[in-house]
């Protein structure tokens, strides 16, 4: 299965290069995943060593803050729906922050599940509220001024 191995190896190398990290201190790091919310912000999480056998993964309140920035009133009803979205990944919401506890040997799978849950929540509520720039029509961007150079920018 060399082709499969080559494809997966390339994917993992590329994925690793796209992940940004910052060591905050001896017990805290920030991981920025190459996953983007609809608003084009990366999914960023904090990993904190709470004890020798416990890590806490959180979004540092960014997911819910982003919803508030886009005008959502984070009511009990909305929080309840977010809890249901996050529950399959064992992610909790504590004081407007997404949180997941795990053991050090579970951190890889936990980071992946957490990032997916955060992105799902963000996308579910931002998909229809993010203002994207209107698309330009071809005629708005280019005009024909010389048939030999058919596309000149304005």
Domain ranges of the chain: 2-130
With contact defined as beta carbons under 8 Å apart, do 45 and 58 qualify? yes
With contact defined as beta carbons under 8 Å apart, do 66 and 37 qualify? yes
| Tens digit of pLDDT at every position of the chain (154 positions) | 789 999 999 988 988 888 999 999 999 999 998 877 666 678 899 999 999 999 999 999 888 888 888 888 888 988 899 999 999 999 999 999 999 999 999 999 999 999 999 989 888 877 665 455 555 554 454 444 444 544 444 4
Phi, psi dihedral angles at 41 (to 5 degrees): -95, 140
Structure tokens at 15: 């994925």
- Give residue 152's pLDDT: 45
Whole-number Å distance between alpha carbons of 126 and 73: 13
- Give residue 51's pLDDT: 95
With contact defined as beta carbons under 8 Å apart, do 44 and 32 qualify? yes
Whole-number Å distance between alpha carbons of 152 and 154: 6
- Give residue 46's pLDDT: 96
- Give residue 93's pLDDT: 94
> CATH top-level class for 2-130?
alpha beta
Whole-number Å distance between alpha carbons of 123 and 104: 28
Whole-number Å distance between alpha carbons of 93 and 72: 17
Q: Spell out the alpha helix ranges (H) of the chain.
A: 2-18, 62-69, 76-86, 107-126, 138-141
> What is the pTM for the complete model shown?
0.74
Nearest to 123 by CA among 46, 52, 43, 37: 37
Tens of pLDDT along 29-41? 999 988 776 666 7
């Amino acid at each position: 299965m060399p082709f499969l191995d080559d494809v997966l190896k390339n994917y993992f190398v590329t994925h690793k290069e796209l992940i940004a990290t910052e060591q905050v201190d001896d017990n805290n790091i920030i991981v920025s995943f190459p996953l983007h919310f609809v608003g084009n912000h990366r999914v960023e999480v904090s990993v904190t060593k709470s004890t020798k056998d416990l890590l806490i993964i959180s979004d540092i309140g960014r997911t819910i803050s982003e919803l508030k920035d886009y005008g959502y009133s984070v009511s009990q009803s909305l929080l309840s729906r977010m809890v249901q979205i996050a529950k399959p990944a064992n992610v909790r919401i504590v004081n407007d922050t997404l949180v997941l506890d795990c053991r050090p040997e579970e951190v890889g799978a936990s980071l992946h599940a957490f990032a997916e849950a955060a992105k799902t929540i963000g996308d579910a509520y931002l998909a229809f509220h993010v203002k994207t720039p209107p698309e330009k029509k071809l005629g708005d961007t280019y005009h024909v001024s010389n048939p030999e150079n058919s596309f000149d920018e304005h």
